[in-house]
Amino acid sequence: MHGQTNAFAKSRAPDLRKTLTDAEKKLWQRLRGGQLEAKFRRQHPFENYILDFVCLEHRLVIEVDGSQHDEQKEHDELRTGKLHDAGFHVLRFWNNEVLNETDAVVQVIWGALHPVRDPSPPRPSP
């Protein structure tokens, strides 16, 4: 990811880390410190964007959307497409989901980080 971030996004990210929304604060309490056996960064700059949360190891981006995202669906779809093209999986949650259904949101994130693999079929006996 080195060299892919523009200067504006880089300079803006530290300010956004200081002014998280209530939903972002609540989710950060569940993501930080490796609680999900993965390291997350918050308000991480990437290209022209600032990602709400990202786990670089698992290439997972988590976006927490407020009501303003109802009016910018096209922009969000373009952003998600660019992130997919860069190899990321993107999960989007509404603020009210994070605030009111935190455990369910965390379960979805856990599932994305630790997908259940189908076991190999049993080997035939010799």
The predicted-structure confidence for 4-57, as pLDDT tens digits, reads as follows 555 554 555 444 555 688 999 999 999 999 999 999 999 888 888 889 999 999
SS3 14: helix
Range 95-123 average pLDDT: 88
pLDDT at position 13, please?
A: 46
- Domains, the chain, with CATH or none: 7-113 (3.40.960.10)
Residue-wise pLDDT for 76-87, tens only, equals: 889 899 999 999
What share of the chain in percent tops pLDDT 90? 56
CB 93 within 8 A of CB 66: no
- Alpha-carbon span 32 to 10, nearest angstrom: 21
